[in-house]
Amino acid sequence: MPDIVKPSVQAFLVCDQVIEDSLTKKKSLIGIFTHLQAGVFPFQHQQMGLYFCFTDAEGAYNFDIDLIYLNNEQLICRATLPNIVINDRLQISDFGINIPSLIFPAPGRYEFRLRMEGSLIAQKDFSVMQLSGHQMTEPSS
């Protein structure tokens, strides 16, 4: 089996939503952010968008995206994308996905990790902060 060419990642961004124009295939990123704020935890965010762009790729690729709670390296969720086939190394390929209903267990730093064939090729971290004056919910007994 020939070696798989590792792509060069040009962008990896987190936002509220990615919208793709059906005619031009251009992506609009709505609400790019570096942090979220929540009053109570666990906190449910209705939707998050991820955008990534790469070049210098050729062949069939398998991608996974993990969301990790960095405070304790807890895996929050994993998304596996359908196989992607790139025919030309000079081609610039961009992708936008929307992930519904993510639950953040506590304030802290989180990171999306983009893996190709199991190898980490990009990562993007962000903070989820407790709004001042709000208390974390306690589990009921």
Domain extents in the chain: 8-130
Q: Report how far Cα 71 is from the mean position of its chain's Cα atoms.
A: 18
pLDDT by residue (tens digit) across 97-111? 999 999 999 999 999
pLDDT for position 5: 64
pLDDT for position 18: 97
Rounded to 5 degrees, what angle do the CA atoms 59, 96, 17 make?
A: 170
Band (136; pLDDT cuts 50, 70, 90): low
Distance CA 78, CA 73 (A): 13
pLDDT for position 132: 81
Topology adopted by domain 8-130: Immunoglobulin-like (2.60.40)
Of 53, 63, 50, the closest CA to residue 125 belongs to 50
pLDDT by residue (tens digit) across 25-54? 999 999 999 999 999 999 999 999 999 998
Which of 52-66, 99-113, 120-134 is modeled with the greatest confidence? Answer: 99-113
Stretch 55-59: mean pLDDT, rounded?
83
In 31-107, which ranges are E strands?
Answer: 35-38, 43-55, 59-61, 63-69, 74-80, 84-86, 93-104
Residues 6+ apart with CB under 8 A from 121: 6, 7, 9, 54, 114, 115
What global pTM score does this model have?
Answer: 0.84
Rounded (to 5) percent helix, strand, coil in the chain: 0, 60, 40
Please tell me whether the peptide bond between 105 and the residue prior to it is cis, using omega within 30 degrees of 0: no
